Structure 1
């Protein structure tokens, strides 16, 4: 009798579990799970299964696990949305770096070091950690972003030098409630990107940004209500240096930790950059904020100027959801 009761209870539990999996798979288009409980065991398999140029959002739920994969989302895979089960436990990682050699004995370079290449437009991600584990070995990109209208919410970007490469010329990217860490130039590239309510964690010493904003683009990097923290020594970091002459970076209502050098900005050893780079702050607070100590070629925005930094203006009419 007891055995029959046990078998019935076991059947009910298994039936409930099977129904839960089915319900989850109906909620999302694809489920990725390393243990085989989803549609795919790898993230790249899910990407490959997305129909080309689909006009509806394809949702990919990624269960907790460490997915060591070098990923590519091609240009014909548009409107793809990744949703992680838990930001601290859903980890996409790789360990390439600039000096690493390919099969021909050539260095793969900074771009080649990326763990995730995102070409497709309208990509979004939530609750995922993107990581490059190569360590302090030079340029080692976690994510390389080229597509337009990209959104990252509650994501982590972990690495050292060149963690996040916003590559796309004219690309618009929005980062909300994200954590980004690194050393030298750990946010860099030519895209227009807004970082709102993010934490920027400074490791060792270096530069938070290395923008290469085109001269024809009005906005480069804009940080809204962000917080700079870290374990780097006091005064060992600059808010930015210009990778290209017309770099544009602005921090508005940000809390700057002691890691920020009071001069604020660096000209990358070229005084001519001071004539073209557009670096600005508005109502910075914290031990790293001191308008009187800033370099004389950076700007403190007026109230009227700060009002122009809306998502509508920055993103040229696109407003991320």
Structure 2
């Protein structure tokens, strides 16, 4: 099969090449991938992967071989999938990590959902009900942040979106943000404390967000896009009264039900996929550069296009 494989000599660390067809294991089905998305964290780890490795986790396509144990969707079903090796024509994935796509959900948009959407959904669930509570989303202009704004607002929260560039404010307000604060200065000047933080930037943003927690509030650390260390001033982790908490996120097991929920919201128009770049995977170098240089508003989706037909005899 054709696949985007790790190539240390390529300018972006990836090239469109070939890899062995995956062989589904017990409880796995085989998906013919039509679209896949690129996550910044995955691109950041390419240098540590062996040449020829097929990366990616977010995919959408058609089931071509159902799971041998009878679990999961039948052949011919359009699905959203989350599993290693998604940047390829074929993906072997656990039947617990796929969800059928309802009518109204486009495959290309669905491919943008799995990792970022599932991360936000699960961290919000871990924080408990956010109805009527103040939810701060840092890095709100990124893919995870945009889903965070939408899902928190849909759950009844008062959403505060933190961005580095105020030009993103109107778009985030349209997605459900009630307040937009710009830069570290704007974050530190936030007038009221917050009850939940979806923190995606790390470094000084994490420290500033921690200082804004109300008694009993929680900070969910779900990313470190800024790449800077977080240095807490002495005594800053002590608060009188009900405990504040800082939690990590890493639960990506058996995500099928959550993918189904996200797909339903997408199909109904209640969730926007926020696809900011889309093109053939033959333009992978362009897509990777756009993600790394933060030129993509939302997610980058590559179309897994078939190879051109071979010329016939005498052509």
TM band (smaller chain): under 0.3
Bigger Rg, structure 1 or 2: 1
Give me the TM-score of the superposition, normalised by structure 2: 0.24
TM-score of the pair, normalised by structure 1: 0.23
| Larger relative contact order, structure 1 or 2 (CA cutoff 8 Å, min sep 6) | 2
